[in-house]
Structures are given as C-alpha cells and as structure tokens.
Amino acid sequence: MVLDINFLTEAALTVGSVSINLAQIIIIPLLCVMGFLFIKLSSRLIKSQLFQHKLSPDLIQAIMRIYFLMIIGILAMLILHWMNVPLAAFAFISGAVAIGVGFGAQNIINNFISGWILMWERPIRIGDFLEIGEAKGTVEAVNTRSTRIRRADGVHMLIPNSHFLENTVVNWTLLDQTVRTTVRVGVAYGTSPRKTSMLIEQAAKEHPLVLMNPESIVVFEDFGDSALIFDLYLWANITIEKGIKVIRSDIRYRIEELFDENGIEIAFPQKDIHLDGELVIKNR
C-alpha cells in the first residue's frame, strides 16, 4: 500500500504571490516549538558557563537578552525564507507599526531604549542599593521595559527604565559598598569631653563591620541645652539600609555599656526652675 503525500505540498492558501501549502502549515508550529526548546536549553547552558566565569549578574542578563533576540531573529528569517515570503511583504506592516509607535507607543519605546542604555552604561546594576524619592531598595532585575526593585520592607517595585535617566537616583553602591553614617550622643554637663570622645571612638573600633580606613572620627559638635553633643562619623560596608541601622544600633549598645563602666551619664532633656521666695510670700 502506497501512501500518497503529494497533497501535502499542494498549495493550500494563496495570498498575493505567496503560496502556503499544508506541509508548511504543519511544520511551522513544529519549528517554533523546537526553536523555543532550543533557546531554553541553550540559554541555561550559556548562563551556567557565564556564571562559572564569575561575570556580574547584570552583564550576564545583557548577554542573554542579546542572545535571545538574535536567535528569535534568525528563527523568524528561516521560517520566512522556507515559506518563500519576501521581506518586502512586510513593508506595509512596518509602515503601520511606525505610525502606531509615533502616536501611541512613545513611552514603551522610550522605556525600551532606556533599558538598553542602562545595561550598556551600567549606572544601575543588579544588587545595587538605590534611593528613589522616599523609597529605598535593592535592584533585582533590569528588564526591557522596567526595573524590579525590592524595598527594605520586602515589597517589590516596578519602575519604568526612563525614570532612572530623567530623574535623580541615589545609588549607594555604584562604585563600592562603602557608606558613611553618623551616631549622635549627648552626655551630661560636667563630663570630661576627652574621655567621652575616647570611649565613643573605642565603641566604633570594636565593631567588626566598621572600616579602619577611612578612620572613624568623633567630633565635639555643640554645647546643647541639656547635654554636650558628640557626633561619631564612621564608614562601613553595607548592602541594604537595614545593615547600616543594625551597625548604628550595635554601636549605641556598646557606647551605653562603656559609659556605664566609666560612670558617664547620658544626658536627657531637663530644665532648672528658680522661684523667688519673696514673690511667693507676697502672693500669699
């Protein structure tokens, strides 16, 4: 018994000068599925190799995005060539898309181009700690249209890429993870300023996350209403806002312990009220 499969190659649909037979209609979805599987498997293999070479996550993401677009473009060209579809057939569609972009997709194109600029110039990288307005968080992904940021409270934010190019963004870890912070302490009047300064500096040096270079500095800031005011300026390596808060908290605990051991009192707001005795007697 001979199975005649010639009917598969007979023209099933004709659009202008382009003919699509039944074999093409069957094979094209298979090619798409096989292409998708190839992209998925090859992307995993390439990504694992890039991680073994210890490349930065944002560079790996940029390489994988370029690879994905290249493979999609090659696959589309092969399918069109196999279907004998000339690229000139898409001239009208390209014109319509251009008009649509001009009228209604400016923001999408703007964010798309901004995303590529961010990946190329790398002012924002995966793992950076950013301050955007009142929000602070860590960059998790720089996508085509938006950037995903995880705030210190665990909430995720999706921010359009164009926002980073058009507005002021504070990147705490652009060049390194070194951040300066301040701890303010007030001690009671009558306390030795020199001894107080030495104890505050000791608390900073004992903390394992405080850097020795640049060196911590204690400044006798002011004579306050109820206290002598000291400011401790220190540098530390941090990745999130919570880290610097924990460091300040640890140093305050240690300062309180050192002050208690050396008999130094931490000041609190107080006022002295003097009464005129003669005025009190007259009022009676």
Q: Are residues 24 and 99 in the same domain?
A: yes
Least confident of 148-152, 169-173, 195-199: 169-173
Given this model, what pLDDT does residue 125 score?
A: 83
Cis peptide before 57 (omega within 30 of 0): no
Given this model, what pLDDT does residue 231 score?
A: 94
Over residues 224-236, the pLDDT tens digits come to 888 899 999 998 8
Given this model, what pLDDT does residue 1 score?
A: 41
128 Cβ contact partners less than 8 Å away, ≥ 6 residues apart: 138, 139, 171, 172, 173, 174
Under the banding of pLDDT at 50, 70 and 90, the label for residue 55 is confident
Boundary-marking domain end, from 103, 132, 158: 103
Domain of 60 in residue numbering reads as 18-103
204 within domain boundaries: yes
Under the banding of pLDDT at 50, 70 and 90, the label for residue 284 is low
Under the banding of pLDDT at 50, 70 and 90, the label for residue 155 is confident
Over residues 103-142, the pLDDT tens digits come to 556 677 777 788 878 877 778 888 888 888 788 888 888 8
Q: Are residues 145 and 203 in the same domain?
A: no
Looking up tokens 């998790």 gives: 140
The Cα–Cα gap between 86 and 92 comes to 12
10 Cβ contact partners less than 8 Å away, ≥ 6 residues apart: 21, 22
9 within domain boundaries: no
Residue 282 has pLDDT above 60, yes or no: no
Under the banding of pLDDT at 50, 70 and 90, the label for residue 41 is confident
CATH assignment of the domain containing 231: 3.30.70.100
CA dist list (Å): 178 to 193, 211, 265: 29, 9, 32
130 within domain boundaries: yes
Residue 152 has pLDDT above 70, yes or no: yes
Listed ranges 89-93, 235-239, 263-267; the one with the highest mean pLDDT:
263-267
Q: How far apart are the first and last CA of the chain?
A: 131
Residue 3 has pLDDT above 60, yes or no: no
* Higher per-residue confidence, 161 vs 8: 161
228 within domain boundaries: yes
69 within domain boundaries: yes
Mean pLDDT of the chain: 77
235 within domain boundaries: yes
Given this model, what pLDDT does residue 194 score?
A: 93
Under the banding of pLDDT at 50, 70 and 90, the label for residue 199 is very high
Query: What letter represents residue 220's amino acid?
Result: F
Number of domains in the chain: 3
Looking up tokens 């008009």 gives: 99
Q: Are residues 207 and 223 in the same domain?
A: yes
Roughly what angle, to the nearest 10 degrees, separates helices 57-82 and 22-52? Answer: 160
CATH assignment of the domain containing 155: 2.30.30.60
